[in-house]
Amino acid sequence: MDGVRRMTKLQEFAGGGGARPAVPFKTLAARLREQIADDIVRGALPPGIALEELELAKRFDVSRTPVREAIRLLVASGLVEARPHRSAVVARATEAQLAGMFEALRELESLCAGFAAERMTAPEQADLRRVHGALQRVVRAGDPQRYHELNEQFHSIIYAGCHNDYLERLTIETRARIAPFSRAQFRTLGRLARSHAEHEAIVRAIMDGKAERAAGAMKAHIGSVHDAYATYRGG
């Protein structure tokens, strides 16, 4: 790119980090996809913003080719929209689409919870209780950011607990797809407490092995998250 040919470039990328010894090897495109997807989900790249190939290429010091491939990957996953000869943009969503995604997420998470109640192993249950306990402490401490992190763990444990890789993947992807639009939902301490109370019902149902109750509790939980978000957005 500037005279000196740097070795492989695959080793050095990885977000400016150091050497990564036993990594299975990833293409530039794969890493770019992760990086950009992360930026979108975290909100650094908000919906509607243009993803110009040359700009991204310069930022990551690669050519347009892997950038283009990364964008194609993101397009297929739904996080990015692309139209021919126009810059790809971070996916937007109408209110109706967002409501649809929330509804789908509610049902997917509900399914996961139901299966988790029937299938989680003892270690998985222990892990769920552990994170649930940690969440309780965070609620008392009133730390929304930390709550957000642990909350994601909580839900992820339940996704994995359904013991259905495909369903787990669908749910994770749906959550990621909604994330860019719902980044402000846990701002109030009131919601934190309420969220945790809802978790309590879910955990109990799972521990008791009551699939329907777990599914119902999760459905109510996600529904209330959606309501909180809709209220927030509405005014």
Residue 51 is inside which H or E element, if any? Answer: strand 50-51
For a second copy, which residue of 25, 122, 123, 145 counts as binding (CB under 8 A)?
A: 25
Nearer to DNA, 27 or 121 (CB): 27
**163-186 b/e (C-beta count within 10 Å ≥ 16 → b):** ebeeebebbbebbbbbebbbeebb
- Closest contact distance (angstroms) between CB of 82 and DNA is 6
Nearer to a second copy, 29 or 205 (CB): 29
Q: Please tell me the distance from the alpha carbon of residue 25 to that of residue 105, in angstroms, as a whole number.
A: 32
Nearer to DNA, 66 or 114 (CB): 66
Cβ count near 33 (within 10 Å): 23
| CA-closest candidate to residue 109, choices 194, 200, 171, 196 | 171
Is 188 a residue that touches a second copy (CB under 8 A)?
no
Is 164 a residue that touches a second copy (CB under 8 A)?
yes
Which residues, 6 or more positions from 41, have their beta carbon under 8 angstroms from its beta carbon?
Answer: 79, 176, 179, 180
For binding to a second copy (CB under 8 A), which residues are involved?
Answer: 25-27, 29-30, 65, 68-69, 72-77, 84, 97, 100-101, 103-104, 107, 111, 164-167, 170, 174
For binding to DNA (CB under 7 A), which residues are involved?
Answer: 1, 5, 7-10, 25, 27-29, 50-54, 62-66, 68-69, 82, 84-88
